[in-house]
Amino acid sequence: MYRLVLVLFITLSTSGCILGGSGSSVLNECRWDPSSCMYQGGYEEGEEQYARDEAARLNRQQAGRVSRW
């Protein structure tokens, strides 16, 4: 049992999940300044329409959830 816990701890700590690796600093940066984490490049062909359609779908889904409250 102790071996399993030790292996899990080592695995998680080296991946940055426990000890706060580089990923956590990115999350904190995005939390305080979300615009710094936004992609500023252009869309690939068809990607912009997909993003619009997906946003509309998610908005409809969320509106359905809110209306059921």
Per residue in 16-43, pLDDT (tens digit) is 544 445 555 666 777 788 787 777 888 8
Type of residue found at 23: G
Distance CA 31, CA 40 (A): 18
pLDDT number for residue 47: 92
CB 16 within 8 A of CB 24: yes
Report pTM: 0.41
| Per-chain mean pLDDT for the chain | 77
Give, in order, the Cα–Cα distances in Å from 3 to each of 9, 14, 17, 21, 40. 10, 16, 19, 23, 46
Distance CA 8, CA 3 (A): 8
State the average pLDDT over residues 40-61.
91
